[in-house]
Structure 1
């Protein structure tokens, strides 16, 4: 998540959402909506550190069901990543990864939307799998944005400095792990609630 320039070099913060944290869930008309950041309906997450108005939802939509997400005024930036199933968007404000207008969103694709006070209308296509997707929307920061790899800064010089800082270990150091791939897989299967 991009931050305003005056917050980019601040102390890191994190909010872990787990079984011990009550993630708000809204269930409506075949949709299960987990509120990970921001506000949806009357539910909101107060513990997530948010600098700007944004919304992060994890949505599971049963096959054939429709779901509408209203965007507050100013939420101009919106996209979703569809993990499973397929969706049809009944709005004309969708662009696929190639910039083409499209109404069908297949699995493992990202769709970009124009929000700004409008609502997004989606329908899970009939089939065996529910549509499972992450939706992210927010108010633009309105600052220059330069990206490279996982770095997001305001200038190329800041990007270069971020990589110097990363290489120097100022972003933290990787830790050695002792588990083989099979041992890790077994660990995750034995303790699934830690990794959902």
Structure 2
């Protein structure tokens, strides 16, 4: 079983037009999380924390996966796409050579909560045509194992010897993206590929990771060793909620400037020039 080699606490931040969020990881030493670049958790029942949303902004060179736990968010982009995410829905957007889009709340009261994950693209695919897919919650596969609930957004694995297959499958980075609700007393053995990076983010209560039962508290992300499977189990007598991520490292240079992620500073400069000239896309 893999052991925990690093733990980080999500830190308060803001993005867009003042949207308050928790930055789980992103920024310094991105190769540690390869192929993942960033994970944000947003969540508040105060409209003032999210109402400004994310007005039109560009991206190039990676993919964004938006997973709504609760609330309504509207997507609009330069391709005239309009999509509305509701409770449990997922949007998988490939920015590729460029997309300009907005993500705006379609509610003025109530709770909004969810995650946005950034997944890198290899150099050969960074300049592909942009596209996106909205998926209703009822299309995301769900599994019940030993009393625990697993929502499989992406990838394939085996949990307690039961086969799990998510909705999305990405060939280059083979991402695994699971939302797991662990009941008290449950223990889950998750099969993972050797050499793939594995990240576990707890967003409610506390769990234990590995045979040494390393504690992982709410709003903490754990990075694991690169060999072996993953063992997670409940702690105390309360259900816990966990995001499990795994992916094949791209192992290419990562150069990021805000919403652009490329392989060299020259490519970043080109993205900036393209955006200023209105030819990013």
Q: Fold conserved (TM > 0.5)?
A: yes
User: 1:34 aligns to what?
Assistant: 151
Residue 160 of structure 1, CA deviation: 3.4
**Which residue is equivalent to 2:264?**
155
Are 2:175 and 2:247, in contact at CA under 8 Å, matched by a contact in 1?
Answer: yes
TM-score, normalised to structure 2, is 0.50
C-alpha distance in structure 2 between counterparts of 1:127 and 1:114, whole Å = 28
Aligned residue pair count? 159
Structure 1 residues 45 and 64, CA gap change in structure 2 (3 angstroms): closer
Q: How does 1:97-108 map to 2 (within 5 A)?
A: 103-108=214-219
User: Which of 13, 17, 27 is equivalent to 2:135?
Assistant: 17
Give the Cα separation in 2 of the matches to 1:170 and 1:80. 38
Q: Give the 5 Å matches for 1:1-196.
A: 1-19=119-137, 22-41=139-158, 42-45=163-166, 47-75=168-196, 77-91=197-211, 103-116=214-227, 118-128=228-238, 130-166=239-275
1:48 Cα offset (Å):
4.7
Q: Is the 8 A contact 1:33 1:57 kept in 2?
A: yes
Higher helix share: 1
RMSD of equivalent CA atoms:
2.5
Cα pair distance change 1:19/1:54, threshold 3 Å: closer
Shift of 1:91: 4.3
**Structure 2, unaligned stretches of length 5 or more?**
1-118
Q: Is the 8 A contact 2:150 2:180 kept in 1?
A: yes
3-state secondary structure, aligned to 1:16: strand
TM-score by length of 1: 0.69
List per-residue Cα deviations over 1:2-30 (Å, max 9, x = no partner). Answer: 0110101111222322135x211221113
